[in-house]
A and B are shown apart, each in its own frame.
Chain A
């Protein structure tokens, strides 16, 4: 029993990341009808928002050399130099705090991307959209590589979350031993909150209602005198923010490097297709499902029966689902049908 719970928990954080990226992909696809291969790059940019925020906060300040000292004293981070204890605390909390930076930055990047490039590709075939966004993903990735270098840059979670949570005690299981890192738990809760917020925005606000109407029938909504294109642009911005936040919070779990986006993108596309093209809840469900299945597949017991299954499980599931359920788990009729 506890082994099963541990595997489910292990799958949650990765699954949460898949779900967040897949949610954004589906939003963009459902509204603008664009297959965005640059979505992984947005995830990566979010992660590097956290990296650069931290780098700014810890900009080294060289204290002046005192009389009689042989060596220059150790450089201290900018924030600590300016604000002492408080500054050190801010540096410690830099990853969650960089959310505040990431939201406007990612929104701006999303809006620029949509207005500058994607807008011109609404009417072009899907293959062209895939290709141009693929090209853009390469460009963004290479620029980040130029600026931050090719090596992963580790980020640390606030000290307070460094330990592990004793899940077994929470569940009232006395004889079991289940611990789980705090930060991963927080990532899951955070992802759930973001997903909840997106769904609430779409389902309980008038703005979201119009967007949903536009997803169903863009032309009719346009005929009613609503500037649906503008709203779709905003949705693209929101999708960019969601991907960016997923990236920001993921940095303490996996040190970001320039190709982290591509690594996640391929899997997220598989997630979207498994969930069903155009279905938001399908994307979220499939994200968690595949994350958890992947973690089960990497159990030693499973690996000894099917060697290598952990490497291919996601793709295998995708193949099976696509062949047996042509619309994915929860796909709507009429979206990307043959």
Chain B
């Protein structure tokens, strides 16, 4: 199982795990050292890792990945409602449901490639979103979102103990999944996912996916049936999204249809591109950066801006506050759009390419990372 990993891979993996595990301490000086945000980093990191397996390796740009996230969330919350507040079954249910859903959608969508594939996935995701809002209300609870209630059956829990007063907490065999335990649960999932992704990247299967990206026709001429490989990649990627969705539900047990909207699918595309398509660490980095700045920028207001620019003379200060005010608070999406455009225009390889360029400038020889980048430069499947 561990055959294909080189010493560098192991170092990368250990380094990654270490960085994730000590992040509550290292990120505190940056104002990000609290569990709710750290959980988000991990969850969206997993989502982006999974998306990258599909888009980064095969070049198939799915615009409907949020559907799997939503399905994972709903499945997880139903597991809380019907069986037990333990998160392990809910995560399993989430992954399984998203995986099954991905098999169906992937089987149909993968009959086409290029922009047709993007539109097909988008169409399926929008259908699920619209249905979750309207007809499927008995399952999804429509606009209100699926929530825990006091009279849920919760068969397994209630068989062992009488239900207490108030809504129960999600837990992992008795450990409450709020605060830092919740974060470490998500962090564990992220590290496992990272390891699996690394294995996929280094495996013959990953090589096959890359070959599909660079020239699918040639693959077919040499006698490979590319469809099963693509479908496997699609389902794996859908299961990652399902895991991310169920973790969302595990840390905060409710699920709403807006998680499936196409803007949510767009967000994971942004994360992956920002970090670096086809790289191992890039998507996690992109997810972290976007969620971090979303949090920081949204919390800025006029007062904090005035404090920031207090060193300027009065007239200049007003101008600076006005200008900066466009980009913070509600204007966070504007900042996101601008950053995103700049990245696509000037740095198509994302942050990872930026780091590689800087390293090159500094004269550091980092063959391994450059080789990885050249293998992962963005190219669509056509």
Contact = CB atoms under 8 A, between A and B. Distances in A.
Interface in B327-358: 330-331, 333-334, 336-338, 340-341, 344-345, 348
A127 B331 contact: no
A127 B378 contact: yes
A323 B111 contact: yes
A316 B112 CA distance: 16
Interface residues of A, number: 41
Interface in B41-96: 59, 61
A308 B333 contact: no
B326 interface: yes
B269 interface: yes
Contacts of A277: 115
A132 B345 contact: yes
B214 to A, nearest CB: 12
Given A146-B331, A308-B131, A319-B108, A266 B126 contact: yes
B115 A315 contact: no
Contacts of A323: 108, 111-112
Contacts of B136: 308
A326 B112 contact: yes
Contacts of A316: 123, 127
A336 interface: yes
A144 to B, nearest CB: 10
B318 interface: no
B333 A138 contact: yes
B113 interface: yes
Contacts of B108: 319, 323
A311 B334 contact: no
Contacts of B171: none
A307 B119 contact: no
A115 to B, nearest CB: 15
Contact of B378 (A35, A128, A135, A269): A128
B201 interface: no
Interface string A244-277: 0000000000000000001000100110010001
Nearest to A125: B380
A266 B127 CA distance: 12
B183 interface: no
A139 B112 contact: no
B273 interface: yes
Interface string A189-222: 0000000000000000000000000000000000
Contact residues of A: prevailing secondary structure: helix
Interface in A121-168: 124-128, 130-132, 134-139, 141-143, 145-146
Chain B's interface size range is 35 or more
Instruction: Tell which of B108, B119, B216, B269 has the most Cβ of chain A within 10 Å.
Output: B119
Contacts of A128: 344, 348, 378
Contacts of B133: 311
A245 to B, nearest CB: 25
A318 interface: yes
A312 interface: yes
A322 B119 contact: yes
A267 B302 CA distance: 38
Given A146-B326, A312-B127, A322 B116 contact: yes
Interface string A281-308: 0000000000000000000000000011
A120 interface: yes
B341 A338 contact: no
A315 B123 contact: yes
A336 B216 CA distance: 15
**Chain B CB within 10 Å, residue with most, of A125, A128, A141, A262:** A125
B153 interface: no
Contacts of B340: 131, 134-135, 138
A141 B336 CA distance: 12
Given A125-B380, A130-B61, A308-B131, A135 B344 contact: yes
A307 B116 CA distance: 27
Given A125-B378, A128-B348, A338 B126 contact: no
B130 interface: yes
A137 B378 CA distance: 21
Nearest to A327: B116
A81 to B, nearest CB: 31
Contacts of B124: 315, 319
Q: Which of A124, A126, A134 has the most CB of B within 10 A?
A: A134
Contacts of B122: 266, 269-270
B295 interface: no
Contact of A142 (B59, B262, B333, B345): B333
A127 B61 contact: yes
A126 B131 contact: no
A312 B130 contact: yes
Interface of A: 35, 117, 120, 124-128, 130-132, 134-139, 141-143, 145-146, 262, 266, 269-270, 273, 277, 307-308, 311-312, 315-316, 318-319, 322-323, 326, 336, 338
15 contacts: A35-B115, A126-B115, A126-B382, A131-B269, A131-B344, A135-B340, A138-B336, A139-B337, A139-B341, A141-B333, A307-B135, A312-B126, A319-B120, A322-B119, A336-B114
Interface of B: 59, 61, 108, 111-116, 118-120, 122-124, 126-127, 130-131, 133-136, 216, 262-263, 266, 269, 273, 326, 330-331, 333-334, 336-338, 340-341, 344-345, 348, 378-380, 382
Minimum-distance CB pairs A-B, first 10: A308-B135, A138-B337, A311-B130, A142-B334, A315-B123, A135-B341, A139-B337, A135-B340, A127-B380, A312-B127
